[in-house]
Amino acid sequence: MGQTLSEPVTEKQSATCQDTRYLVGSSCMQGWRVTMDDSHTHILSLPDDPGTAFFAVYDGHGGANIAEYAGKHLHKFITARPEYHLGNVEEALKQGFLDMDQAMLEQDMLQEKVAGSTAVVVLVKDNTLYCANVGDSRAIASVRGAVEVLSFDHKPNNEEELRRITAGGGWVQLNRVNGNLALSRALGDYVFKRNYRLSPQEQIVTAYPDVQVRQLNEDWEFIVIACDGIWEVLTNEEVISFCRVRLISGWEPAAVCEALMQRCLAPNCATGGLGCDNMTVLLVCLAPFPRNADQESSEIPQQRELSNELSNKLMTNMDDLLYVEDDEEDIK
C-alpha cells in the first residue's frame, strides 16, 4: 500500500476553459496520499494545429516527474510526427508516446527506476475523436446518457498483457508485474524496459498505447477523463449518471469534477483502501450540451432519481469498501 496521511488534503485545484465547441472543467485533489503525483492538460486549440483540441490525464507513481513532463510535452511529440501531417493521427499518437518515453529516458533527472505514469489522451480533430492510453486512467463519454467506453485499462492479469510480459522475460505475481507494478503499460518505469533485444512495444512494461477512434455527432454530450482514484470507487455508469444530472441541472463542469472527487474520497484510510488515492478529473462538455432547458427538463427527474439511487447505494456500501485491500503497489 502507498503511504497515507493522518488526514486527507481536500483542497481542490480547479480550472475552467471554453470556446464555441467546448466547455471544460478540471479539478485535482491530493487526498490521503503524502504527495500529489497527478498531472493533466486541456488545450482547446493546439499551437501546432489550430482547431484541434487535446485533453489528457496523467497519474504518476514513484514521484511526479514523469507525469509533469508528459503534461507539458506529450502533445508536442504527437504533432511533430510525420504521420500526423499525413493525416494518420492514430499512428502519430502511438509513435508520439514512444518518442516521448525515449526522450525522457535520455534525461538524467527522469531516469528514476521506480518512477512512471499512466496516460490517457483525447484528441479531437475534424470532428473525429482519438483516445490513446497506457495504464489504468480512463476516458468515457456520455452519448445521450449512455456510456461510450473510450479506453481499456492495462492490467498485468489481462490475457494480452500477460503474454507480452512473459514473452519479455517478466512474470505476474499478485496481479503485479514482477510482483511490483500494478500496471502493464506506462510512461517511464524504465527498470521494466531493459530487454534490448526487443522493440519498445514488446517490453515487459511498454509505453505503446491502444488507440480508439470515434466519429462525433450531436448525440455526444460530454467526456470524462480521470485517474483510477475515481474508477476504483465508481462504475462507468455511475460516473456518467453523477455528472449528467448535475450538468443538466446547471452545474458548472469544474464544480461537478470537485463533487465527483469528494464523492470518491474515503472517510478514513485505516486500511489504505479504495478512495485513498490522488484524484484528477477532466469534464469536457461538447456544444450544444445541455441542449436547451425545455428539451432536457423531462429528463431531469429520471436522472435525479437514478443519481439519488446510486448515491444511496454508494453510501450503504462505503463501509464495505474501506475493508477492501488496496490493489496498488507501494509506489502507486
Is it the case that residue 204 has pLDDT exceeding 70?
Answer: yes
Among left, alpha and beta (phi > 0; psi -120 to 50; other), residue 174 is left
Q: For the chain, what percent of residues have pLDDT higher than 90?
A: 77
Grid coordinates given for 92: 502519430
Helix (H, G, I), strand (E, B) or coil at 179: coil
pLDDT at 113: 61
Q: Which is nearest to 253 in space by CA: 222, 275, 208, 227?
A: 222
The mean pLDDT value for 67-96 works out to 97
Give pLDDT tens digits for 254-268.
999 999 999 999 998
pLDDT at 209: 98
pLDDT at 287: 86
Which class in CATH covers the domain with range 4-319? alpha beta
The 10 Å Cβ neighbour count of residue 276 is: 28
Cα 126 to Cα 93, 152, 322, distances in angstroms: 16, 24, 44
Is it the case that residue 320 has pLDDT exceeding 50?
Answer: no
Residue with cell 512473459: 166
Residues 59 and 117: beta-carbon distance below 8 Å: yes
Under DSSP, the state recorded for 320 is H
pLDDT at 100: 97
Distance CA 314, CA 262 (A): 13
pLDDT at 288: 82
Give pLDDT tens digits for 276-308.
999 999 999 998 887 654 444 444 444 445 445
The mean pLDDT value for 35-60 works out to 96
pLDDT at 292: 54
